[in-house]
Structure 1
C-alpha cells in the first residue's frame, strides 16, 4: 500500500467520522443550518440535495473529497515529520475547513455564503475531528507491519 492509498484510506475514514458528527450536530443537536453533504451538493448541483439520490451522491462525493484531502495530508507529513501528528492533523483539518468554507463566501455561492456562527462552530469541530482521525489512521497505517511498502 503506497503513501497515496494510505492517505486516501485515512482521509475517507476521517471523512466518515466527520460526517457522523455532522449528521448528529445537524439532525439531533440542531446546531448548524447545513451539512457537509449540502456543501458538496451545492458544488455539484448548484442547490441543496432535493431527493435521496442527490443526498447519497453528495455524501459519497464529500467522503471522496475527504479522501483526497487525506492524500494531501499524508504527503505534507513527509515534509514536516509526523511528530505531534494529532495536533498537526487537527490544525490541518481546521485550516482546510477554513479555506474550503471561505471559497463560497468569496464567490458568493447561494446557501453557502452566509452561514451563522453555530454552523461554523459545528463545522470547525467536525474539521478538527476529521484531522485528528485522519492523522491517527494514517499513523496506524504507517506503523502497521505489512502495510507500509512504499513511501
Structure 2
C-alpha cells in the first residue's frame, strides 16, 4: 500500500525549503523587503518579529505550511494523474499564491497590506518555484520509493 501523506509531506517539505532559500536570497540581495518566512511570522505571531528567534519561528511555520500543501497536492495528483505534472505544479503554486496573498490582504495582516509590485512579483515567482519543486519532488519519490 502506498502512503500519500508521507510522500506528499516529504515533497512539500523539500519544496518549502527551496522556496525559503529563494526568499532569503532575494531579500538578502535587496530585490525585495520580505521573504516567505516573514509572511509566516505574521501568520503565527500577528507581526514581524525582526529577531533571530522570530526568523526561526517563521521558517518553521513556512515549512509546516509547505508540508501541508504538499500532502494536499499528492492527493490531487492521486485523483487526477501524473500527466502534465509540471504544469499542475505551476498552476498549484499560482493558485496558492493568489489565495494566500488574498486571504492575508482580506484579514489585514501586517506584511500583506499595500504590497508593492516587486514583492508581489517575487512571491509569485517563489510560488511557481514551490509548485514545480513540489511536482518534481513528488515525481522522484514516486519513481524511487514505494511510498506512492
1:17 Cα deviation after fit: 0.7
Q: What is the match of residue 148 of structure 1?
A: 146
1:124 Cα deviation after fit: 0.7
Q: Which moved more, 1:106-115 or 1:11-20?
A: 106-115
Unaligned runs of 5+ in 1: none
Distance in 1 (CA, whole Å) between partners of 2:71 and 2:136 is 14
Question: Secondary structure, in 3 states, of the residue corresponding to 1:39?
Answer: helix
Q: Are the aligned partners of 1:33 and 1:115 in contact in 2 as well (CA < 8 Å)?
A: no
Unaligned runs of 5+ in 2: none
**Aligned-residue CA RMSD (Å):** 1.3
Using structure 2 for the length normalisation, give the TM-score.
0.94
Per-residue CA deviations over 1:77-110 (Å, capped at 9, x if unaligned) read 1112110101110110111111011111111113
Q: Are the aligned partners of 1:86 and 1:135 in contact in 2 as well (CA < 8 Å)?
A: yes
Q: What is the match of residue 126 of structure 1?
A: 126
Distance in 1 (CA, whole Å) between partners of 2:5 and 2:126 is 23
Using structure 1 for the length normalisation, give the TM-score.
0.92
